[in-house]
Amino acid sequence: MATVEKGTGVRTHEVTNQPTPLADYNVFEADAALVAAVEREGADWARDRISAVGQYAGSQHAVELGRLANENPPMLRTHDRYGHRTDEVEFHPAWHELLGAAVANELHSLPWREPQPGAHVARGAAFTCFGQAEAGVGCPISMTYSVIPALRHQPDLAAGWEPRFLSDAYDGRNVPASEKAGALAGMGMTEKQGGSDVRANTTVARPLNGGGPGGEYEVTGHKWFMSAPMCDAFLVLAQADGGISCFLFPRWLPDGTRNSFRLQRLKDKLGNRSNASSEIEFDGAWARMVGEEGAGVRTIIEMVNHTRLDCVLGGTTGMRVGIVQAIHHADHRSTFGATLVDHPLMRNVLADLAVESEAATLSAMRLARAYDEALAGDERAQSFKRISNAVLKYWITKRAPAHAGESLECLGGNGYVEESGMPRLYREAPLNSIWEGSGNVQCLDVLRAMVKSPDSLEAYFEEVAEGSGEPRIAAEAEALRSEFSDVETVEAGARRIVERMALLLQGSLLARYGDEAVADAFCASRLGGDWGRAFGTLPAGTDFGRIIDRARAAA
């Protein structure tokens, strides 16, 4: 639309040199690295299903739902108009539609509903695609996906709840799970005084009718973070007579009455604002023990490990969103007499962001394959997963905020405006690094794995060695091994070591499976030392054009 200044005939508002919206495209089919990884890691049988998710996630409709869900965040309704306690969280219809689509596409259930080689890879790829429309619904989806292996520690409970959690029907009503066609699961571990140190929890569980595995308990205490509080049931930790134990806490009792809990408030979060996170108080709440008494951490860690995989996938998702938006803007914006994407310095920035994104994609999908192989009984895969889960969770989620900031800057002032979606991406980026154990927790977990499971370190180096045909991989692997002469004394330098482990693993995967130009740029910069301290500092001889073309959404 153009307007004319009265009496002059001069147009004062003709919109030019602005990109068109990036929408109505298939985010899966446009991602060459992800498509190749799905085939390579054993999930090609699910190609059509993943592609359908990619088509939905790239649609203007899904993008608009994501915007609406974030601009209309959830609200806590503690009481109804008559004064009855309800403890209900009210969501915008856009949230329900997105969550329903995620459930219908089995993002919470695929590996358990259809266990077969590549199922975790297929589900991980679809999860990555869906998150490009909106990341917030990933929380209840991830926790429901992750609750299954933990719940199976208590077969009698799993028999009753697993069919509900694996249903592809979403029902957002606040009614007993027995009245729904499907249910969702959440988790509550941290408390005000403990944070990641869950053994400092003060919430207590007292047995009813004898207690024990599968038995009934009365839980009294609080949780400082209870994400997705409208889920139908939650795994929580509490102190039983025998120590920290795991319990299944449902919103509703078997007789159809409300359980004894109170939602105290919703967290006012930096990002992930479409999703509700709450503080909760248990007042003699009814729950059932999952697993052995005193083995709560060992039981719930099954859930934690799967949600950590989703943190890796979430960081990867954010990087993909950032690079495609940055390239799209640069393709359609002209500055100083040339298209932005043709300026050499901008090409360096875009290529560097693309390299980081592809490295994340390859390593996230490789990690997902380890979950498939470990589930099938592969002990080497179990060892590799044990250490690489923490290595990649640390590094990919740590890189995501820097990647989002640089991607935003590629759009200039437009990127700083909410309408671009980039501020939302930027606020979302730190979440996956914090959720399920921050950076220090992951690094300590790596050190713990080295001491308690030495086979995990050997499995890691065996994987890396498969890329040792690249001289820079071989040299870095030899140098890194020397760092582990006494793993019990390296805590202060653990971040540096874990960073090197992540880069070496990503370099090995790229050398074997990545695009040649991407692999060379990664090894020259991240391993060869020809790199600065910000994105856009790749070596001058890098094939920028080939790397950008590979990452471009229109490819």
First to last CA, the chain: 31
Instruction: Given CATH 1.20.140.10, say whether it is the number of domain 300-551.
Output: yes
pLDDT at 3: 52
Any idea which fold 182-297 has? Answer: Butyryl-CoA Dehydrogenase, subunit A; domain 2 (2.40.110)
Predicted TM-score (pTM) of this structure: 0.95
Contact 237, 246 (CB under 8 A): yes
Task: Indicate the pLDDT class of residue 1, thresholds 50, 70 and 90.
Answer: very low
Spatial CA neighbour of 275 closest among 395, 432, 154: 432
Q: Judging by DSSP bridges, how do beta strands 233-240 and 261-266 pair with one another?
A: unpaired
pLDDT at 189: 87
What crossing angle do the helices spanning 32-40 and 494-513 adopt, rounded to 10°? Answer: 80
pLDDT at 555: 46
Mean pLDDT of the chain: 94
**Tokens 């209840």 found at:** 140
pLDDT at 9: 62
Q: Strand pairing partners for 266?
A: 278
Chain segment 65-89, per-residue pLDDT in tens = 999 999 999 999 999 999 999 999 9
Residue 549: pLDDT over 90: yes
d(Cα 519, Cα 525) in Å, to the nearest integer?
10
Residue 486: pLDDT over 50: yes
* Mean pLDDT value across residues 290-317: 95
Task: Indicate the pLDDT class of residue 7, thresholds 50, 70 and 90.
Answer: low
pLDDT at 252: 97
Chain segment 242-267, per-residue pLDDT in tens = 999 999 999 999 999 999 999 999 99
Spatial CA neighbour of 518 closest among 277, 325, 357: 357
What crossing angle do the helices spanning 296-331 and 119-130 adopt, rounded to 10°? Answer: 50
d(Cα 116, Cα 69) in Å, to the nearest integer?
34
Torsion of CA 482, 464, 500, 453, to 10 degrees: -70
The vertex-293 CA angle with 282 and 306, nearest 5°, equals 75
d(Cα 263, Cα 15) in Å, to the nearest integer?
49
Contact 277, 283 (CB under 8 A): no
522: left (phi over 0), alpha (psi -120 to 50) or beta: alpha
pLDDT at 6: 59
Q: What are phi and psi of 304, to 5 degrees?
A: -60, -45
Domain boundaries defined on the chain = 32-165, 182-297, 300-551
* Mean pLDDT value across residues 304-327: 97
